[in-house]
Amino acid sequence: MSYSELAVLLLPSVVSLLLVFILMQRKQARFNLPPGNMGWPFIGETIGYLKPYSATSIGEFMEQHISRYGKIYKSNLFGEPTIVSADAGLNRFILQSEGRLFECSYPRSIGGILGKWSMLVLVGDMHRNMRSIALNFLSHARLRSHLLKEVEKQTLLVLSSWKENCTFSAQDEAKKFTFNLMAKHMMSLDPGETETEQLKKEYVTFMKGVVSAPLNFPGTPYRKALKVSNHTLINHKI
């Protein structure tokens, strides 16, 4: 094949890519977006955003982006184009305007794990109705009294498992406490039981997937979380 024939074959592809690039640039300019970096295709900057950091700092990711782009910048997180704000004034305005100018939402990847009927991913009237039901359920005087006693019991149980002069992960202990409380309060499962321990393992896998990059490939935390979610639902239906 001659160079002229090859050029003719490649010309449509090159023109198409140029058109797509021009259209994307025009679309971004039309919305007057803040500066930033969209990262890699699909996963964007999710991996860097999820990098662990000390609780006494805002993390290397935020520090670098604020230094480079300012307190408000664009990014791509969890597979979604995102505007990140570290500006207290703007954040206050957004929270005060929720339901009027802004609507609470989560990335589609998280919705894929939690399910479309989860209260966390519902919006509008459906979310308000579900939240009202949950608050009414927890506001009952007898239920609150029972729940507080169970919170105290589970707290003492976790504290008693700590040995003197030992080191532990505060995050892992908080997860253990939260899970034990939910399992007992919602499913009447006591800590240490076989079914409880199996469910705890699935819960840990589930939570790792929720805060991971939305890569639905074998072996990824996201795929494992989807599998665990479906497995748990099937078991409870049976």
pTM of the model: 0.59
What's phi and psi for 195, nearest 5 deg?
A: -65, -35
Q: Which residues pair with 82 in a beta bridge?
A: 75
Alpha helices (H) along the chain: 3-30, 46-49, 60-69, 88-96, 108-114, 124-139, 141-160, 170-187, 194-210, 221-237
Which residue positions in the chain have pLDDT lower than 50?
3, 6-11, 14-15, 17, 20-21, 233-234, 236-238
Q: What's residue 164's pLDDT?
A: 80
Residue listed under structure tokens 């006693």: 149
Rounded to 5 degrees, φ, ψ at 193 are -70, 155
Task: Give the per-residue pLDDT at 71.
Answer: 93
Quote the pLDDT of residue 27.
54
Query: Side chain identity at 184, as an amino acid letter?
Result: K
